[in-house]
Amino acid sequence: IQMTQSPSSLSASVGDRVTITCRAGQRISTYLNWYQQKSGTAPKLLIFGSSNVQTGVPSRFSGSGSGTDFTLTISSLQPEDFGTYYCQQSYSSPYTFGQGTKLEIK
Amino acid sequence: DVQVAESGGGIVQPGGSLRLSCVASGFTFSEYWMHWVRQAPGEALMWISRVNNDGTTTYADSVKGRFTISRDDAKNTVYLQMNSLRDDDTATYYCARGATAGTWPVLDPWGPGTLVTVSS
């Protein structure tokens, strides 16, 4: 299942509301996870099942969507939120990832 | 603490072989699926293989027939045997636990990764 994220990169200011989108090549219900990766480190699970925030993740992160279209929203961007964000479908093997969205802080 | 940690990376010539290991701790290893994901320099994450807790294996097309995943539950370890390595196998290789959050499969946690460089 092909996963397509947009944008590929974005630059935003602290306090901004940021939205990243992910589109699946076929319907995947809510089997959509989001991961954050900071340079040189392992990815970290942020959101599972499209809209469920992983324990310990700040409440400014939220997710939504079902079927083929999904969004990750950061309600008020913080300096520590820089990094690359990946969506991943876990509906069927192989568990494919999107190409990533690189988020830079202005 | 639930942790996984990879080892075994290094520099290998094209056509060569390498075996990666991933040791798990802090959870009942035998009950979980385990995954390998790789990331070429500057590129996106790419899932490459999975071993279920019953030993069933799955592979991405790009590594099928060249890579073999296996597990040793007595040692809390999952392996990735990589043969016929090519330049485009150069990547950081991550091990991740396949967990279930609610009813949804996730990869969590991930290890810090081990770098494999295929070069003559």
Is residue B34 a contact partner of residue B22, using CB atoms and an 8 Å limit?
yes
Q: What would the mean pLDDT of B87-96 be, rounded to a whole number?
A: 98
Q: What is the pLDDT of residue B59?
A: 96
Distance between CA B32 and CA A83 in Å, rounded? 29
pLDDT surpassing 90 at residue B101: no
Q: What is the mean pLDDT of chain B?
A: 96
Q: How far is B94 from chain A (nearest CA, A)?
A: 8
Helix, strand, coil percentages (3-state) for chain B, rounded to 5, are 10, 55, 35
For B29-47, the pLDDT digits (tens) are 999 999 999 999 999 999 9
Q: How far is A79 from chain B (nearest CA, A)?
A: 22
Phi, psi of A13 (to 5 degrees): -95, 155
Q: What is the mean pLDDT of chain A?
A: 96
CB contact under 8 A, A97 and B101: no
Q: What is the pLDDT of residue B96?
A: 98
pLDDT surpassing 90 at residue B103: no
Vertex A91 angle, CA B62 and B6, to 5°:
50
Q: What is the pLDDT of residue A67?
A: 98
For A40-83, the pLDDT digits (tens) are 899 999 999 999 999 999 999 999 999 999 999 999 999 999 99
B2 touches chain A (CB under 8 A): no
B111 touches chain A (CB under 8 A): yes
Q: How far is B56 from chain A (nearest CA, A)?
A: 13
Q: What would the mean pLDDT of B59-78 be, rounded to a whole number?
A: 97
Q: Are strands B10-12 and B114-118 parallel, antiparallel or unpaired?
A: parallel
